[in-house]
Structure 1
Amino acid sequence: MMLFSLGGGLSSCSDSYLEEVNTDDSKAESIDPNAQLTTALLQTYGDFSLMDTYRSYITGFTQYYAGGWNVSNYAGAVYPKDSEMALTWNRYYQIGIKNLVDAIHRSENKPNTNAALRIHRAYMMALLSDIYGDIPCTEAGMSFINGNSTPKYDTQEEVYDFIFSELKACAAQLGTGTDVISGDVTSLGSKPEAWKRYANTLRLRYAMRISDVAPERARTEFESALNADGGIISSADEDAYIKYNDAPFTLYDGATDLDFRANALGEMIYGQDPESPSFVCSTLYDYMKKMHDPRLYRIARCYIHTTRSQTDTSGNFDVTDEVLAWGERGGDGIVPCNVGDAWWSDWVSGPANSDIPTLDSLVTLYPDKGYDKNNYPARMIRPTIAVAFCNADCPGILITSAEVEFLLAEAASKGWNVPGDVESHYEAGIRASMQVLNNYYDIVSKISDEEIEQYIAENPVGDNPRESINTQAWILHLTNPSEGWANLRRSDYPAIADRTLLPVRGDFPHEDPNLQTPVRLRYPLLEAKYNSVNYEKAVERLGGTDDWHTRVWWDVNEQNFMDINKFSESINQ
């Protein structure tokens, strides 16, 4: 009996001891919903593990970038690879959506925080639905709450119904509590009134998104949001964006540790080695060149990348002016890549070392560094995205006053009840777009008021407002590529390069007989295994095949295409 008692005592002491030594007093037993809001917000642009979907497909389908291996191997080759297409779905659902839904469920006593969480969930659901179509929405992220691990796929129309309802309800809820939105890492500054304004402004975007498929509903939602309590974003100091830190690039290792402090989209387009920067597509380059856009050489730059840093954007030698000068002397000058091109084998004639003084100096000073080897001088004349857009602390754009002005301009062109006319909003949108670069990115020089006014004078709204407005929106959304792709498909402007008229490279995979630019991404293959019933219903609504050439619900009309070679020739004559 004594032995038993002693044994029992030892067992109790042992259990108590093990519990004590295995309890980390620095860790909370439950997660603060505000901490989960921080995680979900930062993941939006800060998760390097999902950015391959952007680099491989979204930035290619928008024809912002072309010529690098990833964008040309996947988007350029019209090659569907599940492991690349599924990243945004898997990571956003597994981390962002799961945290948001859990935090929403546990924050009913924090009205302001709860509303902010729900607003960001609405934003993320729109982003995912715009990429894939019908998606799990109203039942998503509920497995830890009610055990449902096989959520239904809401139709995209139902997703948008949910978004409008949530944004309106959240705007009304904000300011009804005294809790602080302490997990806010955006420019909204934890202020309920700023989040209310942001929610109203998102309603404008999503109302315009459905304007072709449900025009009366779109008009009603747009005008309601425009007149809602709290107002809308109307100036640059009210822009909504996520704030990131000037932290070293951590690439996939950082994402594994859920380290989302740096802007991972910037990291991704910077590239993981000196041979993989993001080259500006000829479509974007030539449109801007044709319109004499003062942003062109603030966005597209030529660099010698050979010995650049891989933890930040240092070590790039900018030779843009030297390459332009070489072109003026009779050389090829700057030569952007077409969709599907590869910088390393779609040959251009690189300059002699002596034609580019910086290159000549580097080769002389450091002959063993290889600055003029492996066709690098030819790569040097391919324009890449300026490193100003790749810095770790670049903002993660949510919605800006520039976008609002373009939305108001298009609404006015449709005859909707908005203050002001098409021209005034269009011109205000251009001015605000230029200031986005001046305010948020360390571009080589600020765009002057004189440059802006000259550009507006040369590019009036014209007799096709839908085209002119949405061409400007397309340029604006370069740093928000998911919105750029969504609005491009919705508006069908600008006309982009017809992929079917361009060569098919033999060294890239090719399995899709339809080489036209896809209009959605396919669902992850694992959905067919683990959520088969709901997946099959969604695929049936697509016509029985998970076809990435099948347009989503709000995408009513065919995209406008053009012959990029003829377009390029017309502006270079």
Structure 2
Amino acid sequence: MKTIKFKTNILKYGLILSALVSASSCSVDESRNINDEYGQTPEQLLQDLSIVKGPLVNLMSNIVIVTPEWQYQLQQNLMGDVYSGYMTPPTPFAGDSNNTHYNLIDGWNQFPWTIAYQGVMANAWKVEGRATDLKLPQYVGLAKILKVAGMHRISDIYGPIIYTHLNENPGFDKFDSQKDAYYAFFADLDAGITTLKDAKAKGLKVDPSGDITSFGGDLDKWIKFANSLRLRLAIRISNIDPAKAKTEAEKAIADNGGLLSSNADDLMVLKPHPVGVIANSWGDTRMGASMESILNGYQDPRTGKYFQKSAINGNYAGIRQGIDIANNGGKDAYAKFSTLTTSITEKIQIMTSAEVQFLLAEASLKGWNTNGATAENAYNKGIQLSFQQYGLDATAYIANSTNLPTDYTDPNNAANNTAAVSKVNIAWNNGDTNAVKLEKIITQKWIAIFPDGQEAWSEFRRTGYPKLFPVKLNKSGGTISTDKFIKRINFPASEKAANSANVAAAVGLLGGPDNGGTNLWWDTNK
């Protein structure tokens, strides 16, 4: 039997361990590990490149985890999906005192971290190492880009993360500050784009069977995505590090590989979205009150593409975050509110061309070189692309200057009612202040990128837009401000137990206590 040897580390990550455990970095015989992992002989694994395509598929499946659905519920649905204003559970989890009430539960807070290192970093390491040894640079470049796509989300949950120091001292790896992590993301995007361009010039391809996304192995689209991701991250740091942000954004815009520019470019993982099971099989998530206020107020045609009408009032009805569910009719009452549609749950949205247009609109508003794109044109195009994504015509919507978000009314309990906090209309007006223009850009981006609650929550923290309803019952014990909203998730308890010295150093890098009230580096909204 042929032996396959790789000069790379073999990574493992358990639910309790704090860092990836590796074997020696010397020449390692991985044949048994690989055979156990895929159930094929080494000859078979080499013949169809399963040793590379297998972990690549796993990597794609964990940026937003595909299955099991309960892990997505803890990775994002009970965090970003709620804190973004998109969704609220009708279920009184943990005695109706949980993350949705700002009483952060350690057992929940572990999962984004564990999935990131077990599902994203470990698989990216495998793809990069194996593809390097097999001289398959197209897979190396793709892994670098996907690693950034996954890990920036984790940094945007916790702040400092283990990234550039990963596996230097297994079990006791040092953290990067969020600034250093972001700079490393930009460097990895540089390397990934350059590698893909070189591979393309040599006629190398990615086997579509190893790409479970809408790109189907198309290197041109992956380069566009990498540039678009660079633009997203540049905008993310623009309030705290404007010079670096401008440099990275203009690099992305000027790159000859281009940006995502049409709905044919939208990056989707072609697997059923786990939120569908959570919403429609388990009944554990429903439309959020802020979504109801904004979508109903705008009479937005996308509402019916996102949500089903409720059984409680025959209209689109959302639940306010942090209410007392148990004493207001319980799950049976609130499960009657609007659930999600199949058009949302049939695939997993990673990034769209509509989002890119809103990023360009903001870049133009900042006075950066956007290659001729104006804030107004990019804003309108972003709306058009979002509507086209669902087979809708945006003409009348874009021109609407009268509709405003509506007050919120809870049919079960008037004590949860609250006045609308978002006050901007839809139509672009060059006479508006830049603050109003930015609010319009972010509000429309927030609608367009649904259901990606993690990205929406990050943008809300960065900009304060769209204006959302505050949590009704704040059970944080004073660590999180109701008016300023939750800022982050505390470091996992398992990491504190196993890697305590480096977690303590990471708290120092964070610049505040390890709780949900401490701002991330790029969040300047104090």
In the other structure, the counterpart of 2:240 is: 213
What is the rounded CA distance, in whole Å, between the counterparts of 1:236 and 1:24 in structure 2? 36
Deviation at 1:385, TM superposition (A): 2.6
Deviation at 1:483, TM superposition (A): 0.8
Deviation at 1:121, TM superposition (A): 0.7
- Tell me the SS of whatever aligns to 1:294: coil
1:404-443 to structure 2, matched below 5 A, reads: 404-418=356-370, 419-436=372-389, 438=390
In the other structure, the counterpart of 1:545 is: 513
Deviation at 1:180, TM superposition (A): 3.0
In the other structure, the counterpart of 1:154 is: 176
Alignment of 1:66 with 2:88, yes or no, is yes
Deviation at 1:387, TM superposition (A): 4.3
Q: Cα–Cα, structure 1 residues 35 and 421, in superposed 2: closer, same or farther, change >3 Å?
A: same
Deviation at 1:243, TM superposition (A): 1.2
Match of 1:36 among 41, 48, 55: 55
What is the rounded CA distance, in whole Å, between the counterparts of 2:317 and 2:274 in structure 1? 27
Alignment of 1:466 with 2:442, yes or no, is no
In the other structure, the counterpart of 1:314 is: none
Deviation at 1:224, TM superposition (A): 1.1
What is the rounded CA distance, in whole Å, between the counterparts of 2:71 and 2:335 in structure 1? 28
Equivalent AA in structure 2 for residue 485 of structure 1:
W
CA contact (8 A) 1:302 1:380 kept: no
The CA deviation string for residues 84-112 of structure 1, in whole angstroms up to 9 with x for no partner, is 11101112212221111122122121111
1:343-492 to structure 2, matched below 5 A, reads: 345-346=327-328, 378-379=333-334, 382-390=337-345, 394-418=346-370, 419-436=372-389, 438=390, 446-449=391-394, 451-453=396-398, 455=400, 459-462=426-429, 463=432, 464-492=436-464
What is the rounded CA distance, in whole Å, between the counterparts of 2:395 and 2:249 in structure 1? 34
In the other structure, the counterpart of 2:498 is: 530
The CA deviation string for residues 348-389 of structure 1, in whole angstroms up to 9 with x for no partner, is xxxxxxxxxxxxxxxxxxxxxxxxxx995x547522333442
What is the rounded CA distance, in whole Å, between the counterparts of 1:294 and 1:456 in structure 2? 16
In the other structure, the counterpart of 2:319 is: 337
Equivalent AA in structure 2 for residue 238 of structure 1:
D
In the other structure, the counterpart of 2:414 is: none
Please give the TM-score of this superposition, normalised by the length of structure 1. 0.72
Please give the TM-score of this superposition, normalised by the length of structure 2. 0.78
- Tell me the SS of whatever aligns to 2:465: coil
Alignment of 1:112 with 2:131, yes or no, is no
Q: Cα–Cα, structure 1 residues 161 and 70, in superposed 2: closer, same or farther, change >3 Å?
A: farther
In the other structure, the counterpart of 2:228 is: 201
CA contact (8 A) 2:479 2:517 kept: no
- Tell me the SS of whatever aligns to 1:153: coil
What is the rounded CA distance, in whole Å, between the counterparts of 2:247 and 2:316 in structure 1? 47
In the other structure, the counterpart of 2:273 is: 263
Q: Cα–Cα, structure 1 residues 279 and 344, in superposed 2: closer, same or farther, change >3 Å?
A: farther
What is the rounded CA distance, in whole Å, between the counterparts of 2:72 and 2:106 in structure 1? 14
Deviation at 1:449, TM superposition (A): 4.7
In the other structure, the counterpart of 1:82 is: 106
What is the rounded CA distance, in whole Å, between the counterparts of 1:375 and 1:233 in structure 2? 41
% identity of equivalent residues: 25
What is the rounded CA distance, in whole Å, between the counterparts of 2:512 and 2:98 in structure 1? 24
Alignment of 1:123 with 2:149, yes or no, is yes
Report the aligned-residue RMSD. 2.7
Instruction: Extract unaligned runs of 5+ from structure 1.
Output: 1-18, 245-261, 304-318, 325-332, 348-373, 439-445, 559-573
The CA deviation string for residues 170-205 of structure 1, in whole angstroms up to 9 with x for no partner, is 111114234432222112221222211111111110
What is the rounded CA distance, in whole Å, between the counterparts of 1:547 and 1:23 in structure 2? 41
What is the rounded CA distance, in whole Å, between the counterparts of 2:213 and 2:455 in structure 1? 18
Q: Cα–Cα, structure 1 residues 302 and 532, in superposed 2: closer, same or farther, change >3 Å?
A: same
Instruction: Extract unaligned runs of 5+ from structure 2.
Output: 1-31, 404-425
The CA deviation string for residues 120-170 of structure 1, in whole angstroms up to 9 with x for no partner, is 011112111011100001133x3xxx7633221011111111111111121
CA contact (8 A) 1:334 1:381 kept: no
What is the rounded CA distance, in whole Å, between the counterparts of 1:335 and 1:395 in structure 2? 24
Alignment of 1:232 with 2:259, yes or no, is yes
- Tell me the SS of whatever aligns to 1:426: helix
CA contact (8 A) 2:380 2:398 kept: no
In the other structure, the counterpart of 2:250 is: 223
Match of 1:289 among 259, 282, 296: 296
- Tell me the SS of whatever aligns to 2:63: helix
Deviation at 1:479, TM superposition (A): 1.5
Q: Cα–Cα, structure 1 residues 189 and 24, in superposed 2: closer, same or farther, change >3 Å?
A: closer
